Amino acid sequence: MLYITKSVTFSASHRLYNPEFSDEENERIFDKCNNFYGHGHNYTLEVTVAGEPNPKTGYIIDLKILKKIIQDEILSKVDHKHLNHDVEFLKGIIPTVENLAIAFWNRLENNFQDGKLHCIRLYETENSYVEYFGKKRD
């Protein structure tokens, strides 16, 4: 088994906010991430696919195909968007980096003919990131 990873970036804004909380609670819990109009990040998304190299091509998965899946399923929906307002598949989700990683996994999981989705790593800044390996590894 080998693991191949493709890294992409996108720029988006978000606001951390739970409508069930009072304003004071939102302010206390989410602090500066609770700013009404939001704030933003250059996110880096790493998608790892596990598999055996095809002996004819030496590829687990053609990176052009992997990139197209990521583009179609994720980047075309989230790049240069406000994650709370503009993204259908994130409706009702507090867009923390944890919840985004799970949502991206769910978008991507069933798109692979070659190899199998193994890991989503999502950087919110250069100094903080989340990894998710799907439910099967819980």
Catalytic residues: 33, 80, 124
Q: Which of 23, 68, 71, 85 binds its own copies (CB under 8 A)?
A: 85
Q: Which of 19, 22, 24, 58 binds its own copies (CB under 8 A)?
A: 58
Instruction: Please report where in the chains the tokens 């998304």 appear, as a residue.
Output: 45
Nearer to its own copies, 8 or 89 (CB): 8
Which alpha helices (H) appear in the chain, and where do they start and end?
23-30, 63-70, 76-78, 97-108
Is 23 a binding residue for its own copies by CB under 8 A? The answer is no
Size of the site for its own copies (CB under 8 A): 67
Spatial contact of 46 and 117, defined as CB atoms under 8 Å apart: no
Is 89 a binding residue for its own copies by CB under 8 A? The answer is no
- Paired tokens of 107: 């978008």
Q: Which of 63, 68, 71, 72 binds its own copies (CB under 8 A)?
A: 63
Chain centre to alpha carbon of residue 23: 28
Chain centre to alpha carbon of residue 52: 24
Spatial contact of 7 and 56, defined as CB atoms under 8 Å apart: no
Cα–Cα distance between 125 and 87 in angstroms, integer? Answer: 21
Nearer to its own copies, 56 or 110 (CB): 56
Sites of contact with its own copies (CB under 8 A): 1-9, 11-14, 16, 18, 20-21, 29-33, 35-42, 48, 53, 56-60, 62-64, 79-82, 84-86, 93-99, 101-102, 125-133, 137-138
